């Protein structure tokens, strides 16, 4: 046989193999879809135990090289169905789907899928906003190892409807998962979203440059471990055509890990800058850490929460669920979980304040104890620190000038000093805080039923009196109803009170 004959024979063999593979893959598609829908509906049942939400395969036509499927997601309220979403899916059979071959993607795969939304009465507004195109499209490739790679697109749209104007640049994401959805990796981004809401108090809201990343793996209890983070370049609000409030450089990260059945969660949030009318006001950041959380108990509590929310929405009695959760709470508390705001930092141009608070919990002897006794046994330890910066307080008072431009800088400076003197006086009189240079500081420690504030023992039944001593004893006058002479007299009385506190 000459070379041409050999090449022709090889091509025929390849086409035959491809055709046989496509036939074999096509014969498995409907069964695979049925299994996927069953898993989806099982997840819906966890969220909605009464079966109000379900997904159906409404049409399936199998061909040699491709198949066509349609799905419906419906809400069933006692037999009264409402269509939420209708999807159309064109599935090209492997091992060599034509769409991939046309792009010279020669790696054999089981199937190549193109999914889009179908127009409906519910979604008519979205289709109008996109010029008649499907608002959402997804292409996905399933390998023979059941691994799925997908690209999700929310298309750009402009919507005008009953006082709402929306401009959306679109959203694109790459998604990687397995057949059972136990491993999910997602990376997505959006350029811009603008909302204009009319009415008596019109508001404009905008977001720019959103990036989302997630890498999660499901554990044996159904919880997704791993990490995720969100970055947003800016978010802006303008109320009633006034000056704009901007939040810049927002970043949120979280991590959930498991070791020996215990979960540890770390969450961070950063806000790079808060601006109003073009002026920088400050920034903030927070660090949270939850540890010693029993994985099985957390998963059960999550399922309990979903059941309660469903009962509330349907008007069902939630009392039936309360007895079931008590054992789960006891299991969670037995691990002595620790819930901590490791730090909350608020910064302005001239100062920085910080708060930290950690709470350790324990299992009580019984849940039948009186409320006060039960609470004391559940809360094993509280450790908190507050550092309040006086320069930061001065900055915050000065910001009133942005909203009340009639106030002079001297008036604002005087108001800030009066506020600081008042806080110092009340803190020292009540011993709830101490003055250290430019800071007001408080240290709180509760352990083994004993409370200390700034190192001083405090009986728990004295807390009400202690806080009362830090608050003004007389009701505050309504300044708008006072004459100039009465305002002057009130200021003089306040100054005398402050002098008396200082003298103590």
Q: What is the pLDDT of residues 26-80, one digit of tens each?
A: 566 777 778 878 877 887 777 666 667 888 888 888 877 788 989 888 887 766 7
**Percent of the chain scoring above 90 in pLDDT:** 42
Task: Specify the pLDDT at position 198.
Answer: 83
Provide DSSP, 487-503: HHHHHHHHHHHHHHHHH
Q: What is the pLDDT of residues 234-270, one digit of tens each?
A: 999 998 778 899 999 999 999 999 999 999 999 999 9
Tokens for 231, please give them.
Answer: 């970055």
Q: What is each CA distance from 413 to 233, 298, 408, 417, in whole angstroms?
A: 34, 50, 9, 6
Mean pLDDT of the chain: 83
Identify the bridge partners of residue 173 per DSSP, sorted by sequence position: 152, 188
Domain ranges of the chain: 1-155, 348-471, 473-504
Q: What is the mean pLDDT of residues 270-297?
A: 96
Distant-in-sequence, close-in-space partners of 88: CB < 8 Å, separation ≥ 6: 68, 69, 70, 115, 116, 117, 118
Q: What is the mean pLDDT of residues 348-369?
A: 94
More confident site: 437 or 179 = 437
pLDDT surpasses 50 at 484: yes
Report d(CA 261, CA 255) in Å as an integer: 16
Task: Specify the pLDDT at position 1.
Answer: 46
Report d(CA 305, CA 311) in Å as an integer: 10
More confident site: 297 or 7 = 297
pTM: 0.81
More confident site: 324 or 1 = 324
At 20, the pLDDT band (50, 70, 90 cuts) reads very low
Task: Specify the pLDDT at position 10.
Answer: 38
Q: Can you say whether the dihedral through the CA atoms of 327, 330, 334, 335 is positive or negative?
A: positive
């Amino acid at each position: 046989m000459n070379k041409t004959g050999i090449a022709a024979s090889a091509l025929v063999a390849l086409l035959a193999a491809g055709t046989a593979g496509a036939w074999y893959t096509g014969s498995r598609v409907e069964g695979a879809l049925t299994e996927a829908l069953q898993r989806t509906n099982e997840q819906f049942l966890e969220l909605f135990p009464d079966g109000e939400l379900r997904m159906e395969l409404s049409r399936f036509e199998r061909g040699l090289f491709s198949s066509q499927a349609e799905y419906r997601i419906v809400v069933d309220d006692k037999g009264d169905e409402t269509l939420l979403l209708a999807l159309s899916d064109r599935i090209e059979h492997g091992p060599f789907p034509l769409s991939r071959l046309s792009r010279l993607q020669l790696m054999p795969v089981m199937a190549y899928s193109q999914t889009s939304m179908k127009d409906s009465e519910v979604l008519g507004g979205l289709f109008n906003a996109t010029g008649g195109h499907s608002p959402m499209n997804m292409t996905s490739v399933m390998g023979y190892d059941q691994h799925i790679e997908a690209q999700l697109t929310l298309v750009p749209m402009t919507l005008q409807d009953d006082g709402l104007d929306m401009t959306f640049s679109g959203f694109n994401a790459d998604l990687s998962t397995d057949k059972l959805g136990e491993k999910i990796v997602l990376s997505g981004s959006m350029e811009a979203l603008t909302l204009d809401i009319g009415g008596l108090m019109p508001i404009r809201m905008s977001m720019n440059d959103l990036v989302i990343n997630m890498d999660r793996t499901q554990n044996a209890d159904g919880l997704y471990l791993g990490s995720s983070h969100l970055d947003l370049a800016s978010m802006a609000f303008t109320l009633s055509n006034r000056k704009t409030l901007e939040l810049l450089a927002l970043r949120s990260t979280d991590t959930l890990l498991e070791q020996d059945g215990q979960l540890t969660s770390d969450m961070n949030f950063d806000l790079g800058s808060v601006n109003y009318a073009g002026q920088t006001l400050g920034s903030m950041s927070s660090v949270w850490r939850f540890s010693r959380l029993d994985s099985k108990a957390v998963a059960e509590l999550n399922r309990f929460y979903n059941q309660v929310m469903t009962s509330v929405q349907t008007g069902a009695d939630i009392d039936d669920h309360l007895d079931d959760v008590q054992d789960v709470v006891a299991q969670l508390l037995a691990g002595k979980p620790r819930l901590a705001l490791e730090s909350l930092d608020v910064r302005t141009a001239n100062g920085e304040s910080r708060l930290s608070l950690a709470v350790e919990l324990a299992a009580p002897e019984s849940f039948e104890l009186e409320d006060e006794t039960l609470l004391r046994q559940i809360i094993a330890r509280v450790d908190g620190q507050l550092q309040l910066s006086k320069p930061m307080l001065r900055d915050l008072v000065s910001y009133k000038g942005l909203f009340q431009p009639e106030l002079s800088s001297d008036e604002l400076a005087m108001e800030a000093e009066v506020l600081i003197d008042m806080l110092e006086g009340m803190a020292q009189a009540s011993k709830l805080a101490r003055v250290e240079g430019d800071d007001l500081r408080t240290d709180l420690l509760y352990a083994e039923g004993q409370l200390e504030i700034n190192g001083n023992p405090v009986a728990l039944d004295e807390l009400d009196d202690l806080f009362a001593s830090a608050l003004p004893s007389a009701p505050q006058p309504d300044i708008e109803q006072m004459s100039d002479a009465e305002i002057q007299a009130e200021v003089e009385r306040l100054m005398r009170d402050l002098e008396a506190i200082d003298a103590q």
